[in-house]
Amino acid sequence: MSSPTPEERRRRRALLRAHHPDLGGDPEAFIRAMAAFPAHGSRTPTPQHPADDVRFVCRPRGLARIAAWYRVQLRRGRRGGPPRVL
């Protein structure tokens, strides 16, 4: 997945800011502006196919939460936290 150059990002953000409906822009102009800039990479991130750098994490519940807390405590050692640097 290729990343856009800083100039491309600046142009895209300025155009989207100018036409965003929440900022008083026209919704049709916003849709046209979104379509004018192609997605970088092989596919556009969607809820079904998120970007490669997006991770969804569920917090453990019930006994799994207690076990996760205990594992963290074991990793930290007896002092209850990471070593302090003075």
**Ranges of each domain in the chain:** 8-39
Q: Is the sign of the CA dihedral 10, 12, 13, 17 positive or negative?
A: positive
- Per-residue pLDDT, 66: 94
| CA of residue 12 relative to chain centroid, distance | 18
User: Does the pLDDT at position 42 exceed 50?
Assistant: no
pTM greater than 0.75: no
Alpha-carbon distance of 50 to 22, in angstroms, equals 24
DSSP state of 18: H
- Going from the C-alpha of 25 to that of each of 16, 17, 29, 31, 34, the distances in angstroms are 9, 8, 7, 11, 13
- Highest-scoring range by mean pLDDT, 3-7, 8-12, 32-36, 52-56: 8-12
User: Does the pLDDT at position 67 exceed 90?
Assistant: yes
